[in-house]
Amino acid sequence: MSDPRIIVALDFPDAKQALALTDRLEPGSCRVKVGKELFTAAGPHVVNEIMAKGFEVFLDLKFHDIPSTVSNACKAAAGLGVWMMNIHALGGRRMLSAARQAIPAGTAKLIAVTLLTSMERSDLNEIGLNGDPQEVVQRLALLANDCGLDGVVCSAREAPRLRQIMGKGFCLVTPGIRPVDASMDEQKRVTTPRQAIENGADYLVIGRPITQAADPVSMLKQLNNEIEEGMGFKI
């Protein structure tokens, strides 16, 4: 597979468990994500070890701070040689632009988290966000685009409209992916892998449905097949 669409979320409490899984996976069949749990426990070393196995890494630390802190954190992430990193769109225009300046386009992909896939309409009012998830995500995606970011993290439910507005070059990364019959866990804005691809998502972040499967390797294969079938219908 030249451009694997699945990013396996390595949400593990230590490097040993993360590396045990990457030992069983092929870099040609997926990319991997190192997030807050694994990075806090194991640090940059585990990122280097995973990259040394040939995997492209999405460093998911969702930076959200004052512009100088975020731009310096992004530089440090780029220094690790990761393929993709994210910051939080709610950090606003100045933070997003500072990050973009720190990470020139064409190096690591810099994307903005819009609204977490664990949130639904009823969560928005409480934190002072007006509109439904589609509107909020759209507003933040337009802001990210305006600041020159490479794309956003959103749910695949919002992807069709974003693809329509942003065109093909804007990268849509979608967590909240659940095969039919899988447990939702805390995810609220969810689609199946095939639906996500058909909706225009570029990359699908999938954690527990793969990492907690009895056989993660065959589950990944099954989900890749499902995505392959959906590619012909991708927006």
Ligand X SMILES: O=C(O)c1cc(=O)[nH]c(=O)n1[C@@H]1O[C@H](COP(=O)(O)O)[C@@H](O)[C@H]1O
What residues line the site for ligand X (CB under 6 A)? 9, 11, 35, 60, 62, 86, 113, 116-117, 153, 175-176, 185, 187, 205-209
Q: Is 33 annotated as a binding residue?
A: yes
Element holding 61 (H helix, E strand): strand 57-63
Nearer to ligand X, 49 or 185 (CB): 185
> How many whole angstroms separate alpha carbon 8 and alpha carbon 1?
15
> How many whole angstroms separate alpha carbon 121 and alpha carbon 222?
32
Respond yes or no: is residue 150 known to be catalytic: no
Could you tell me the smallest distance in angstroms from the CB atom of residue 116 to ligand X?
4
Q: How many residues are recorded in the chain?
A: 235
3-state secondary structure of 217: helix
Nearer to ligand X, 67 or 193 (CB): 193
Closest CA to 44 of 53, 31, 57: 57
Could you tell me the smallest distance in angstroms from the CB atom of residue 207 to ligand X?
3
Asked if 7 contacts 205 with a C-beta cutoff of 8 angstroms, the reply is: yes
> How many whole angstroms separate alpha carbon 111 and alpha carbon 90?
12
Could you tell me the smallest distance in angstroms from the CB atom of residue 58 to ligand X?
7
Nearer to ligand X, 127 or 232 (CB): 127
Q: Is 11 annotated as a binding residue?
A: yes
Could you tell me the smallest distance in angstroms from the CB atom of residue 191 to ligand X?
12
Respond yes or no: is residue 65 known to be catalytic: yes
Which residue reads 């997926």 in tokens? Answer: 30
Q: Is 157 annotated as a binding residue?
A: no
Respond yes or no: is residue 14 known to be catalytic: no
Nearer to ligand X, 85 or 147 (CB): 85
Those residues with Cβ within 8 angstroms of residue 2's Cβ, 6 or more apart along the chain or in another chain: none
**Annotated catalytic residue within 14, 36, 53, 62:** 62
Going by the annotation, the residues of the binding site for substrate are: 11, 33, 60-69, 117, 178, 187, 207-208
Q: Give catalytic residue positions.
A: 60, 62, 65
